[in-house]
Amino acid sequence: MSKVDRRIGKTQEAIKNAVIDLMSEKNFDDITIRDISDRANVSRGTIYLHYLDKYDLLDKLVESHINELREICIMGADLDYFSGSPLWTEYFERNYSLFSLMLASKGAPFFRNRFLDFLIEQFKQEVDVTKGKNQGLKDELIVRFVASAFVGVVEWWFTNNKPIPHHVLAEHLGLLFERNL
């Protein structure tokens, strides 16, 4: 894999930070490329060198965070991260401003769907309907139920300004996950 030029990386980071800052001030639909370029202190042409439009920018921003969550899953595979390990919730804590905007904002509702799809993909590996309380139930139904509940709890945590510490959230999500799978 080739290295990205540092200047390109810094420019892309400035653009991504600008869109996150702007989303804290106004609805994503009301943000213009001009707003982003002014905030990032780059030309509009520079933005178009890296992204097709603001939706492509947002899509790539979301995708980068989903990929980071995927990496956490790979790194934590032997830690059973759904059983109370705070790997995910630490990541949420570190990226609080982005996730709170994405989950609480009406401007980027597709993030919730992408997050849900990601969780469904991850939870499919954890479901075993051959034994326990869920014996005989449809895999897909169980996975969708647990993933939707997980997203709902994480959304609640962000929209209520982190009412419990992230490690307590991780512990409780792990316990709920174990009870339902």
pTM of the model: 0.77
Q: How far apart are the first and last CA of the chain?
A: 38
Domains in the chain: ranges and CATH: 1-51 (1.10.10.60), 60-180 (no CATH)
Mean pLDDT of 117-122: 89
Band of pLDDT at residue 176, cut at 50, 70 and 90: confident
Where is pLDDT greater, at 137 or 167?
Answer: 167
Share of the chain above pLDDT 90, in %: 33
- The stretch 115-132 carries a mean pLDDT of 80
Contact 76, 87 (CB under 8 A): yes
Closest-CA residue to 55 (of 35, 29, 34): 29
What confidence tens digit (pLDDT) does each residue in 63-73 have? Answer: 998 898 888 87
